[in-house]
């Protein structure tokens, strides 16, 4: 649940920012743009912060 609360707003922001640029492309191509951005943001941004903030609680 914690990860969902962090990723969902990030996904909304990425989709809103990329939509003006890729809205004319077919859905699979849009996913090729959004998924790498989302993955990189989660791996190098969201997960380290969540681990730092909630590490002790998550390790229980």
Domain ranges of the chain: 2-58
List helix spans (H) across the chain: 2-22, 27-41, 47-58
Contact 45, 14 (CB under 8 A): no
What global pTM score does this model have? 0.77
Dihedral sign computed on CA atoms, order 6, 8, 13, 15: positive
Model confidence at 58: pLDDT above 90? no
3 state DSSP class of 39: helix
| Predicted confidence (pLDDT) per residue in 7-51, tens digit | 999 999 999 999 999 999 999 999 999 999 999 999 999 999 999
């Amino acid at each position: 649940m914690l990860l969902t609360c962090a990723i969902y707003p990030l996904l909304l922001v990425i989709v809103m920012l990329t939509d003006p640029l890729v809205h004319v492309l077919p859905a699979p191509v849009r996913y090729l743009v959004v998924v790498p951005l989302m993955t990189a943001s989660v791996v190098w941004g969201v997960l380290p912060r969540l681990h730092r903030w909630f590490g002790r609680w998550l390790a229980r």
